[in-house]
Amino acid sequence: MPAELVINITSQETRIALIENGILAELFIERQSEKGIKGNIYKGKVVRVLPGMQAAFVDIGLPRSAFLYVSDVYEDFDELELMMGGSRENGDFAVDRDTLVVSRYSSQIEDMLHEGQEVLVQVSKEPIGSKGARVTAHISLPGHYLVLMPTVNHVGVSRRIENEEERKRLREIISKMKPPGVGFIVRTASEGRIEEDLLMDMNFLLKLWEKIQHRRVNASVPSIIHCDLDICLRAIRDLYTRDVEKVVVDSEREYNEILEFIETFMPQLKYSIEFYQADEPIFDAYGIEVEISRALERRVWLKSGGYVVIEETEALTAVDVNTGKYVGKGNPEDTILRTNLEAVKEIAYQLRLRNIGGIIIIDFIDMEKEGGRDRVFQALKEALKKDRAKTNILRISELGLIEMTRKRTRDNLSRLLCEPCTYCEGRGIIKSKTTLCFEIFREIRREAVNIPSNVIIVSLHPAVADFLYDEERYAIEELENRLKKKIIIKVRSDFHQEEYEIESR
């Protein structure tokens, strides 16, 4: 089934859903108060160089300084590509710069940058949590068919174009047309396109770079030089491939803007844009709201009755696979293998939908046979091929664990839509009423010597007070006899369950 882009727009936020085979595959959300900055180009100033980390901090006018790594200012692109084992990341043409190890023979960050130096940088990664933005001095300007890299002389082809003859054809076309001294990456959408389409995209990007160069000359420091397209047009530019059959949008203004954009760069696709006018909210009509709610749950049920538990922590994400209600009908090893194989598809789907990045540990149900472990590993590799984010997977260990990484480019869904619980302060648990009662008894014993009065007042949450009266009333009497003081319980409905006060009257 072809894919669709479903766009929901309100005055507060824009939500874009990529639907594949009738199922929500990816979700992009941008709120008016928290607009993204990835792709923006800034004229900044180096405020600190860190030789020990081979990095620098750059003031680009944001609350937190941006982070510039040595590989993002490296001047010899051919040597850099060789060291990295590929080409630099750009849209669907990806490599992980973080794998770069700068040898002692390479240029050092302190040789290339100094404090106070003005630099033109582009945001390559949004600020996440307490971290500032990641920036690069290697500017890239994406079009629909091509990506211009004005700072390097290089031609690359998207790894998603697998046909070698097509890759060769596209590379030859671009190499022939491009001006000397600049580079281009051929995007997936270019597959099968004629030379005129590519030339139009190339000319547009070269004119855009010329404008940026003019703005740079007179701009103050720090300042923004170029803003990337808004989220709707970015989605059309980056996600609208031949796999996408249509785009449905519920805002007339955005519908007209998309049409104008399409007619300029992809006129053959203008009839696939649809304006949604029904009374039912567009995300309800496509069943997307239900999928979003499901993507925020800790436990995800499988059709067989098994389930997957996803726990996101500060350092990594742990995924646990369980058979749950599924007991199978025959060999237990077959039951376990079926559950793990079913879980593989759901895990790959959830990682992509929730946009979970960083280190991921998957605890599959233990399998005794090496063949079963290999089948699960290969199934996971295959399931992750649809993911546009770069992943790296290690084979299943003897403990049944898979260690993997997924490139983090923006906040995941739970960070974007949720906040830590103010009651448990993000721990996910609170102290039990029994624990609190014993803690209160110990605190009373400590404070009793400093209380001259014969009456001790304990203020606490109603649930803890009820537990004290019901389960620990004899312990209170025993404590009163031991201290020779009267203990009065005072209920405070405004208290947190773990909160209490001990005072004298």
Residue 338 is encoded by which pair of tokens? Answer: 């079926």
Q: How many CA atoms lie within 13 A of 78 on its CB side?
A: 1
CA 295/CA 17 separation, integer angstroms: 13
Q: Is 87 helix (H, G, I), strand (E, B) or coil?
A: coil
Tokens 């669709």 belong to: 4
pLDDT band (50, 70, 90) for residue 83: very low
Task: Determine the pLDDT at residue 95.
Answer: 38
Q: Is 200 helix (H, G, I), strand (E, B) or coil?
A: helix
pLDDT at 17 over 90: yes
pLDDT tens readout for residues 273-284: 999 999 999 999
Does the domain formed by 433-504 have CATH 3.40.1260.20?
yes
Domains of the chain, by residue range, sit at: 3-34+232-289, 41-227, 297-417, 433-504
pLDDT at 192 over 80: yes
pLDDT band (50, 70, 90) for residue 344: very high
Give DSSP secondary structure letters for 333-347: HHHHHHHHHHHHHHH
Homologous superfamily assigned to 3-34+232-289: eRF1 domain 2 (3.30.420.60)
Q: Give whichever of 183-197, 300-314, 341-355, 446-460 has the largest mean pLDDT.
A: 341-355
CA 376/CA 364 separation, integer angstroms: 9
Percent helix, strand, coil in the chain, to 5, is 35, 25, 40
pLDDT band (50, 70, 90) for residue 75: low
Residue 133 near residue 126 (C-beta atoms within 8 A): yes
**Averaged pLDDT for residues 342-359:** 93
Spell out the residues 6+ positions from residue 115 whose beta carbon is closer than 8 angstroms to its own: 46, 47, 48, 49
Please report the sign of the dihedral spanned by the C-alpha atoms of residue 437, residue 440, residue 444, residue 446. positive
**Averaged pLDDT for residues 362-391:** 90
Residue 453 near residue 484 (C-beta atoms within 8 A): no
CA 434/CA 321 separation, integer angstroms: 32
Residue 303 is encoded by which pair of tokens? Answer: 């059709």
CA 159/CA 92 separation, integer angstroms: 7
**Averaged pLDDT for residues 318-330:** 79
CA 413/CA 469 separation, integer angstroms: 43
Burial of 456 (0-12, 13-18, 19+ CB in 10 A): buried
**Averaged pLDDT for residues 177-189:** 90
pLDDT band (50, 70, 90) for residue 85: very low
Q: For residue 467, what are the CA distances in angstroms to 210, 456, 501? A: 73, 19, 17
Question: Judging by DSSP bridges, how do beta strands 66-69 and 118-125 pair with one another?
Answer: unpaired
Residue 348 near residue 381 (C-beta atoms within 8 A): no
CA 207/CA 219 separation, integer angstroms: 19
CA 262/CA 235 separation, integer angstroms: 12
**Averaged pLDDT for residues 369-386:** 91
pLDDT band (50, 70, 90) for residue 24: very high
pLDDT tens readout for residues 236-262: 888 877 678 889 999 999 999 999 888
Spell out the residues 6+ positions from residue 141 whose beta carbon is closer than 8 angstroms to its own: 147, 148, 150, 205, 208, 209
Task: Determine the pLDDT at residue 275.
Answer: 94
CA 168/CA 190 separation, integer angstroms: 13
Question: Judging by DSSP bridges, how do beta strands 391-393 and 401-406 pair with one another?
Answer: antiparallel
Q: Kindly report the CA angle at 97 between 96 and 100, in degrees rounded to 5?
A: 115
pLDDT band (50, 70, 90) for residue 327: low
> Torsions phi, psi of 58, nearest 5?
-125, 130
pTM comes to 0.75
pLDDT at 225 over 80: yes
pLDDT at 98 over 60: no
Region at 358 (left for phi over 0; alpha for psi -120 to 50; beta for the rest): left
pLDDT at 102 over 50: no
Could you give the angle at which helices 473-483 and 433-448 cross, rounded to 10 degrees? 10
- Which listed CATH number (3.40.50.1100, 3.20.20.10, 2.40.50.140, 3.40.470.10) goes with 41-227? 2.40.50.140
Could you give the angle at which helices 195-218 and 252-265 cross, rounded to 10 degrees? 110
Long-range contact pairs involving 320-328 (C-beta distance under 8 Å, separation at least 24):
320/363, 321/347, 321/362, 321/363, 321/364, 321/365, 322/365, 323/365, 326/302
CA 222/CA 120 separation, integer angstroms: 10
Residue 390 near residue 94 (C-beta atoms within 8 A): yes
Task: Determine the pLDDT at residue 419.
Answer: 83
Residue 210 near residue 179 (C-beta atoms within 8 A): no
Chain mean position to CA 2: 25
Residue 7 near residue 249 (C-beta atoms within 8 A): yes
Please report the sign of the dihedral spanned by the C-alpha atoms of residue 170, residue 172, residue 178, residue 183. positive
CA 338/CA 118 separation, integer angstroms: 58
Task: Determine the pLDDT at residue 74.
Answer: 59
Per the model's pLDDT, the better-predicted residue between 478 and 419 turns out to be: 478
Spell out the residues 6+ positions from residue 20 whose beta carbon is closer than 8 angstroms to its own: 1, 3, 243, 386
Give DSSP secondary structure letters for 25-43: EEEEEEEGGG---TT-EEE
Please report the sign of the dihedral spanned by the C-alpha atoms of residue 405, residue 406, residue 410, residue 411. negative
CA 353/CA 364 separation, integer angstroms: 20
Q: List the beta bridge partners of residue 27.
A: 17
pLDDT at 266 over 70: yes
pLDDT at 323 over 80: yes
Residue 407 is encoded by which pair of tokens? Answer: 């490139």
